[in-house]
Amino acid sequence: LIVGASRGPLAGRRVVITAGPTREPIDPVRYISNHSSGKMGYAMAAAARAAGAEVVLVSGPVAIAAPVGVEVRGVVTAQDMLEEAGKAVDEGCDLFIATAAVADYRPDSCAADKIKKSDEGMSLSLVRNPDTLATIAGRSDAPFTVGFAAETRDVERYALDKLTRKKLNMIVANDVSAPGLGFNSDNNAVIAFWPQGREAIGPDTKSALAQRLIALIGEHLNQKAG
């Protein structure tokens, strides 16, 4: 058990954060995944911890170290992520932040043996994965929920659509088509949207962005509770 610090805007708060990519197995040696490094989620976890929260980080496979004082629970698939995040929220959660780049689809089955190549092309049959963020935000005991949206165009329209459709308290959008920002980079620029407003943050380091976002989320959370 990791207990939060006694000071800071998130003192006494329990925070669950998802981060990293998921991997969806095709056969024992192959999977479908994406370019997520986990850096933004890990930076959010470190910033939440520094703001006094008790933090559980539900993380897909990444190559970065756990922030000091943060409990990491490793997952592989989107289905694992839904299950582990659900359990972590059941344990008590004031704030849920979804930064994970969850695979939207998985192979309908995982082959028992390594698939051998043939001279023909091949196709994979994919099925939809569950949406962890929408599931948590839709609970009757939903915590304050924050989503992230990486877009390559129409950033504002898609972000606002996700804010409403998933019933979120806030969504943090970034344009991944911007050169040198976003996926795998140490820098990013984002716009946070909530039902009555917005704030553009950066370009800056992911660590600085995370600190500002956690301060902003803290203001909203404490307003809601107060």
Would you tell me how many other CB atoms lie within 10 Å of the CB of residue 82? 22
Among 170, 167, 153, residue whose Cα is nearest residue 212? 170
**Residue 100, contacted partner among ligand CTP, Ca ion, none, CB below 5-8 A by kind:** ligand CTP
Q: Point out which span in 24-32, 145-153, 192-200, 208-216 binds ligand CTP (CB under 6 A).
A: 145-153
Give the end-to-end CA distance of the chain in Å, rounded to a whole number.
Answer: 27
Q: Which is nearer to ligand CTP, 8 or 216 (CB)?
A: 216
The answer to whether residue 147 forms part of the interface with ligand CTP (CB under 6 A) is: yes
Report CA torsion sign: 105, 110, 115, 120: negative
**Residue 161, phi then psi, degrees to nearest 5:** -60, -45
Among 18, 54, 35, 70, residue whose Cα is nearest residue 150? 35
Q: Residues for the chain: how many in total?
A: 226
> What residue numbers does the annotated binding site cover?
104, 114, 148, 162, 166
Site for ligand CTP in 182-211 (CB under 6 A): none
Per DSSP, the chain holds a count of helices (H) and strands (E) of 5, 12
Shortest CB 129 distance to ligand CTP, Å: 5
**Residue 191, contacted partner among Ca ion, ligand CTP, none, CB below 5-8 A by kind:** none
Residue 34 annotated among the catalytic residues of the structure:
yes
Q: Which of residues 17, 44, 89, 100 is near ligand CTP by CB under 6 A?
A: 100
The answer to whether residue 17 forms part of the interface with ligand CTP (CB under 6 A) is: no
Query: Residue 32 has which token pair?
Result: 């479908």
Q: Which of residues 104, 131, 151, 199 is near Ca ion by CB under 5 A?
A: 104
Among 101, 127, 83, 96, residue whose Cα is nearest residue 23? 101
Shortest CB 222 distance to ligand CTP, Å: 22
- Catalytic residue list: 34
Footprint on this chain of ligand CTP (rule: CB under 6 A): 18, 78, 98, 100, 102, 104, 129, 131-133, 147-150, 162
